């Protein structure tokens, strides 16, 4: 079952490389040997359908999910409205809720059914307009309305509370305007008005920052997970020992493992970028050069980590679990692409500094949305290269030790 | 004859289950992998997956230099949400600070800000936000509006304050503690990751080592083999589920208000649905590597479509329909309900039967596929 032996492509060149001098002093033979090893890796990649699954099917799936499924832009949130008063002001307030673009309102006439709907998660909150509301408005001292939210989803609860209050404030302003006449109404605006400008993403589309995050995940998967799996399989099957027994040098061995997956990762990244820009309408304001520089700088630590994991575990199942824990989850959770690093407790914040993706995400988001801002991109690239160096040194040591 | 056959069948099944559990627990490395990563995931996820926005640096360009601007600045500085207020001398400096992500947002106070407020007119506060992190920026905008609105209300004439009020109550989680949301959700998530991965790997490993063929030629029936294969992930999942239940209450103080019995029943249904999907993946893959990638490709959409990462209501309608086939969706509602809402059995049942249907369909599809492969 030895991989090199069954491969028709690399056999002759390996043999030739071996014949032309095992000292490796002749530059030509060493290059040929490396080429042969790369051809072997390439044949292996081509023969295994799972590689294509991970390099092309999975990126498309991830892009699709992050482009469509995870939308942090709220659409209509389901709430109920309990109106316990039949006066005109109460009806106008109820109308204001029904017409609000933020809510999908179910009208109810008591609190009890609202409780049942909350329990099963059919609504996420409800508003109660109390009895005697209309008369209290007429008296100039409106009774407070009740806003109840489902606290099991804190962000949604905050959103409902503030938007429900916003609807009431608007209604209040128009009630006052009605009573005071148009003349005073123009002066009725809030004393301090905040006018906000969202740079780089004026439409507030969460897709804009989620899709670059998906690209980071794709590169992590190819760089670390796929590499760890493929190389762990060689260790598990013993073909790695056979490879290491050939006259090739360590650097050639590592290069032969790294180059094919590096190219695969870059290709996949390029594919994702094209789809992100054409299908998902992401802006691309930086330069292609910066994008490739960032991606290349990230793939080095990713690949180094993958090789290190495989050399350390030599078991596909364990390698897959470790790679998931050491690469996919940190990229997903600790890189700052969904969850704000600044909000995490300090030990976790400290941990994020050891996650290469933490440096990739701001650089990637910048090159997509803002442009080539080198003061952000360059330091991040340098740190990622530093991680790459560290992981490759670890990798050299782990592989060498295992030969004893 | 039938008297003898019954015990024989049970012995076979028992032997199969014992063998499966040994296969899983034999290797010390995989033993560690079964429990340690889920626990690490629980802790890291819990602390990392907060959508709260805190400790933000914010920039300030003050062109008015008046008392109102100063007062507003002090209120922003005093807010626990913000870490530092960085005073920027010019609009160009502001632009650079945002570009280079030194600040997430910048407040711009125009030169007539104080005069207008002093004259009783309404004044405008400019706020520039970094849209590269538009989600966090939006939340920051909310904080700033709140501070500005509060200060504005104090300046406003009394009549505007007679506008009534609203009383806000958050049920089930009165202080909106984010961990109360995270931990129950993580029970569902981490069990799904482990359940599918263990199931699909177990079969693929036997297949890769060639021992699966030996099993197939043994007198064992397909369903006996499948039941044997189901036991280890079921047991590991139950163990992890109990562990999380205890950790969530003891270490993180999340209340568990529902029935423990319902939790166990729901866990079993959920696990069966997951194991069915894991077996389907393994039936379709020839190597461990394919099984691992297959389980990954199944697990990621299950989690992203469950409603944990983003509300299902935010998804496009056609995608919402697809989420009905996602077991995580149902268990997430159950587990959140049992933790925080003291969810009664009747409501739990509404979410339970779809899990049963998914389990039934996936397990029989897997059995069919294995049988088809055997021929």
Higher pLDDT pick, A290 / A257: A290
Q: Can you name the CATH fold of B56-160?
A: abc type-2 transporter like fold (3.40.1710)
Q: What's residue B30's pLDDT?
A: 67
Percent of chain A beyond pLDDT 70? 87
Beta-bridge mates of residue A126: A80, A148
**Mean pLDDT to the nearest integer, B284-301:** 84
pLDDT grade for A360, boundaries at 50, 70 and 90: very high
* Residue appearing with tokens 């309990």: A82
**Mean pLDDT to the nearest integer, A102-128:** 89
How do residues A144-163 score in pLDDT, each as one tens digit? 899 999 988 887 888 888 88
Q: What's residue A3's pLDDT?
A: 40
| 8 Å CB contact of B181 and A154 | yes
Q: Which of A1-15, A75-89, A112-126 has the lowest mean pLDDT?
A: A1-15
- The two tokens of residue B27 are 């290797």
Higher pLDDT pick, B46 / A370: A370
How do residues B13-33 score in pLDDT, each as one tens digit? 787 778 777 777 777 766 776
Q: What's residue A148's pLDDT?
A: 93
Q: What's residue A230's pLDDT?
A: 81
Chain A residues with CB under 8 Å of B136 CB are 340
Residue ranges with strand state E in chain B: 56-62, 82-87, 105-109, 123-130, 166-171
Cβ-based neighbours of B325, under 8 Å, separated by 6 or more: B358
Question: Would you kindly state where each structural domain of chain B is located, as residue ranges?
Answer: 56-160, 174-374
pTM for the full predicted model: 0.79
Q: Which of A389-398, B115-124, B158-167, B216-225 has the lowest mean pLDDT?
A: B158-167
Higher pLDDT pick, A182 / B299: B299
Chain A residues with CB under 8 Å of B138 CB are 198, 204
Q: What's residue A402's pLDDT?
A: 59
Count of C-beta atoms within a 10 Å radius of residue B14: 12
Residue of B nearest to A63 (CA): B301
Decide if A101 touches B, using CB distance below 8 A: no
Flag whether pLDDT at B205 surpasses 60. Answer: yes
| Residue of B116, B134, B309 best to disrupt the A interface, most CBs of A under 10 A | B134
Residue of A nearest to B50 (CA): A339
* Residue appearing with tokens 């997951």: B274
pLDDT grade for A6, boundaries at 50, 70 and 90: very low
CATH assignment of A77-188, among 3.40.1710.10, 3.40.50.300, 2.102.10.10, 3.40.50.2000 = 3.40.1710.10
- Name residues 299-318 of chain B within 8 A of A (Cβ): 300-301, 304-305, 309-311, 313-316
**Mean pLDDT to the nearest integer, B197-215:** 79
**Mean pLDDT to the nearest integer, B276-284:** 89
Chain B residues with CB under 8 Å of A53 CB are 290, 293-294, 297
| 8 Å CB contact of B132 and A366 | yes
**Mean pLDDT to the nearest integer, B164-178:** 84
In which order are the strands placed within the sheet that holds B105-109?
A192-199, B123-130, B105-109, B56-62, B82-87
Flag whether pLDDT at B358 surpasses 90. Answer: yes
Flag whether pLDDT at B173 surpasses 60. Answer: yes
Q: Which of A140-149, B94-103, B197-206 has the lowest mean pLDDT?
A: B197-206
Q: What's residue A74's pLDDT?
A: 64
What ipTM was estimated for this complex?
0.77
Chain B residues with CB under 8 Å of A189 CB are 122
Cα–Cα dist A217/B300, whole Å = 12
Q: What's residue A364's pLDDT?
A: 93
pLDDT grade for A306, boundaries at 50, 70 and 90: very high
**Mean pLDDT to the nearest integer, A100-127:** 88
pLDDT grade for A128, boundaries at 50, 70 and 90: very high
Decide if A333 touches B, using CB distance below 8 A: yes
Cα–Cα dist B127/B61, whole Å = 10
Q: What's residue A12's pLDDT?
A: 43
In whole numbers, what is the pLDDT of chain A averaged over residues? 82
3-state secondary structure of B341: helix
| Residue of B136, B168, B197 best to disrupt the A interface, most CBs of A under 10 A | B168
How do residues A12-62 score in pLDDT, each as one tens digit? 444 444 444 444 444 567 778 778 878 887 887 777 777 777 778 888 888
- Name residues 211-240 of chain B within 8 A of A (Cβ): none
Residue of A nearest to B344 (CA): A119
Q: What's residue B117's pLDDT?
A: 82
Flag whether pLDDT at A316 surpasses 70. Answer: yes
Decide if B101 touches A, using CB distance below 8 A: yes
Higher pLDDT pick, B328 / A232: B328
Decide if B256 touches A, using CB distance below 8 A: no
Asked if A210 and A70 count as a contact pair (C-beta separation under 8 A), the reply is yes
Task: Please give the angle made by the CA atoms of A72, A76 and A79, to the nearest 5 degrees.
Answer: 115
Q: Which of A250-254, A368-372, B247-251 has the lowest mean pLDDT?
A: A250-254
Flag whether pLDDT at B35 surpasses 80. Answer: no
Q: What's residue A210's pLDDT?
A: 87
**Mean pLDDT to the nearest integer, A198-205:** 80
Count of C-beta atoms within a 10 Å radius of residue B165: 13
Flag whether pLDDT at A404 surpasses 80. Answer: no
Q: What's residue A299's pLDDT?
A: 95
Decide if A338 touches B, using CB distance below 8 A: yes
Percent of chain B beyond pLDDT 90? 22
3-state secondary structure of B285: coil
| Residue of A123, A150, A321, A351 best to disrupt the B interface, most CBs of B under 10 A | A321
- Name residues 159-198 of chain A within 8 A of B (Cβ): 161-162, 164-165, 168-169, 172-173, 176, 187-198
Q: Select from B287, B284, B314, B286 the least CA-distant residue to B298.
A: B284
Decide if B241 touches A, using CB distance below 8 A: no
Three-state DSSP string of chain A: CCHHHHCCCHHHHHHHHHHCCCCCCCHHHHHHHHHHHHHHHHHHHHHCHHHHHHHHHHHHHHHHHHHHHCCCCCCCEEEEEEECCCCHHHHHHHHHHHHCCCEEEEEECCHHHHHHHHHCCCCCEEEEECCCHHHHHHCCCCCCEEEEEECCCHHHHHHHHHHHHHHHHHHHHHHHHHHHCHHHHHHHCCCEEEEEEEECCCCCCCHHHHHHHHHHHHHHHHHHHHHHHHHHHHHHHCHHHHHHCCCCCHHHHHHHHHHHHHHHHHHHHHHHHHHHHHCCCCCCCCCHHHHHHHHHHHHHHHHHHHHHHHHHHCCHHHHHHHHHHHHHHHHHHCCCCCCCHHHCCHHHHHHHCCCCHHHHHHHHHHHHHHCCCHHHHHHHHHHHHHHHHHHHHHHHHHHHHHHC
Cβ-based neighbours of A29, under 8 Å, separated by 6 or more: A17, A20, A21
Cα–Cα dist A144/A130, whole Å = 8
**Mean pLDDT to the nearest integer, B97-121:** 86
pLDDT grade for B313, boundaries at 50, 70 and 90: confident
| 8 Å CB contact of A334 and B181 | no
pLDDT grade for A7, boundaries at 50, 70 and 90: very low
Q: What's residue B335's pLDDT?
A: 93
Higher pLDDT pick, A37 / B82: B82
Q: What's residue B330's pLDDT?
A: 94
Across the interface, of A141, A152, A192, the residue whose CB is closest to B336 is: A152
In whole numbers, what is the pLDDT of chain B averaged over residues? 84
Flag whether pLDDT at A297 surpasses 90. Answer: yes
Decide if A200 touches B, using CB distance below 8 A: yes
How do residues B259-268 score in pLDDT, each as one tens digit? 999 999 999 9
Flag whether pLDDT at B51 surpasses 60. Answer: yes
Flag whether pLDDT at B182 surpasses 80. Answer: yes
Cα–Cα dist B38/B195, whole Å = 11
Q: What's residue B375's pLDDT?
A: 59
How do residues A237-272 score in pLDDT, each as one tens digit? 888 777 777 777 777 878 888 888 899 899 999 999
Flag whether pLDDT at A304 surpasses 70. Answer: yes
Q: How far apart are the CA of B8 and the nearest CA of chain A, in angstroms?
A: 34
**Mean pLDDT to the nearest integer, A134-142:** 84
* Residue appearing with tokens 């600790």: A334
- Name residues 259-298 of chain A within 8 A of B (Cβ): none
Question: Would you kindly state where each structural domain of chain A is located, as residue ranges?
Answer: 48-69+205-403, 77-188
How do residues A278-288 score in pLDDT, each as one tens digit? 988 899 999 99
Flag whether pLDDT at A1 surpasses 50. Answer: no
Flag whether pLDDT at A188 surpasses 80. Answer: no
């Amino acid at each position: 079952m030895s991989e090199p032996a069954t491969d028709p492509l690399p056999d002759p060149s390996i043999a030739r490389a071996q014949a032309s001098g095992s000292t490796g002093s002749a530059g030509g033979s060493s290059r040929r040997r490396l080429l042969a090893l790369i051809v072997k890796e390439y044949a292996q990649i081509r023969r295994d359908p799972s590689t294509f699954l991970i390099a092309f099917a999975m990126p498309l799936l991830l892009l699709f999910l992050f482009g469509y499924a995870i939308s942090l832009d709220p659409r209509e949130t389901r709430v109920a409205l309990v109106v316990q008063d039949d006066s005109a002001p109460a009806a106008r307030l109820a109308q204001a809720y029904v017409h609000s673009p933020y809510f999908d309102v179910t009208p109810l006439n008591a609190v009890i059914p609202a409780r049942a709907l909350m329990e099963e998660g059919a609504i996420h909150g409800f508003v109660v307009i109390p009895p005697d509301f209309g008369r209290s408005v007429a008296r100039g001292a409106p009774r407070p309305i009740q806003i109840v939210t489902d606290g099991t989803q804190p962000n949604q609860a905050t959103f409902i509370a503030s938007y429900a209050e916003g609807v009431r404030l608007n209604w209040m302003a128009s009630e006052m305007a009605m009573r005071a006449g148009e003349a005073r109404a123009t002066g009725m605006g809030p004393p301090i008005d905040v006018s906000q400008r969202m740079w780089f993403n004026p439409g507030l589309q969460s897709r804009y920052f989620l899709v670059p995050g998906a690209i980071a995940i794709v590169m992590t998967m190819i760089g670390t997970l796929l590499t760890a799996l493929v190389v762990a399989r060689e260790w598990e099957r013993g073909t790695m020992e056979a490879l290491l027994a050939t006259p090739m040098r360590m650097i050639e061995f590592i290069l032969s493992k790294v180059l094919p997956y590096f190219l695969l990762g870059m290709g996949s990244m390029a594919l994702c970028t094209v789809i992100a820009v054409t299908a998902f309408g992401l802006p691309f304001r930086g330069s292609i050069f910066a994008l490739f520089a960032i991606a290349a700088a990230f793939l080095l630590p990713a690949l180094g980590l993958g090789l290190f994991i495989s050399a350390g575990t030599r078991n596909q199942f364990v390698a897959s679990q470790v790679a998931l824990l050491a690469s996919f989850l940190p990229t997903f959770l600790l890189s700052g692409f969904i969850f704000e690093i600044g909000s995490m407790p300090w030990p976790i914040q400290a941990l994020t500094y050891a996650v290469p993706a933490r440096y990739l995400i701001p650089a990637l988001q910048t090159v997509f949305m803002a442009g080539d801002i080198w003061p952000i991109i360059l330091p991040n690239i340098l740190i990622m290269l530093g991680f790459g160096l560290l992981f490759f040194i670890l990798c050299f040591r782990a592989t060498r030790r295992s030969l004893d | 004859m039938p008297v003898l056959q019954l015990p024989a069948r049970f012995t076979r099944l028992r032997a199969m289950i014992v063998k499966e559990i040994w296969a899983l627990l034999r290797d010390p490395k995989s033993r560690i992998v079964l429990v340690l990563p889920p626990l690490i995931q629980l802790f890291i996820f819990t602390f990392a997956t907060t959508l709260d926005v805190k400790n933000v640096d914010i920039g300030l360009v003050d062109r008015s230099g008046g008392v109102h601007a100063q007062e507003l600045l002090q209120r922003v500085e005093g807010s626990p949400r913000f870490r530092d207020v960085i005073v920027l001398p010019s609009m160009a400096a502001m632009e650079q600070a945002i570009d280079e992500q030194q600040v997430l947002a910048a407040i711009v106070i125009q030169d007539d800000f104080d005069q207008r407020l002093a004259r009783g007119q309404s004044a405008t506060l400019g706020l520039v936000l970094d849209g590269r992190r538009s989600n966090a920026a939006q939340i920051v905008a909310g904080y700033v509006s709140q501070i500005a609105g509060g200060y504005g209300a104090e300046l406003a004439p009394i009549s505007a304050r007679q506008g009534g009020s609203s009383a806000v109550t958050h049920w089930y989680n009165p202080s909106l503690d984010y961990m109360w949301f995270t931990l129950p959700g993580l029970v569902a998530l981490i069990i799904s990751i482990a359940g599918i991965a263990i199931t699909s790997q177990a079969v693929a490993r036997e297949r890769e080592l060639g021992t699966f063929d030996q099993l197939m030629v043994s007198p064992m029936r397909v369903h006996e083999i499948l039941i044997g294969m189901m036991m280890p992930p079921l047991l590991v999942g139950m163990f992890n589920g109990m562990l999380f239940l205890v950790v969530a209450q003891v270490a993180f103080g999340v209340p568990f208000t529902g029935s423990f019995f319902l939790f166990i029943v729901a866990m079993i249904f959920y696990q069966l649905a997951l194991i069915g999907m894991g077996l389907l993946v393994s039936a379709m893959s020839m190597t461990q590597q394919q099984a691992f990638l297959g389980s990954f490709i199944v697990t990621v959409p299950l989690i992203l479509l469950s409603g944990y990462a983003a509300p299902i209501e935010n998804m496009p309608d056609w995608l919402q329909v697809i989420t009905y086939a996602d077991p995580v969706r149902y268990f997430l509602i159950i587990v959140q309900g049992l933790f925080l809402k003291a969810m009664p059995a009747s409501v739990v049942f509404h979410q339970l039967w779809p899990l049963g249907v998914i389990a039934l369909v996936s397990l029989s599809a897997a059995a069919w596929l294995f049988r088809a492969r055997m021929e």
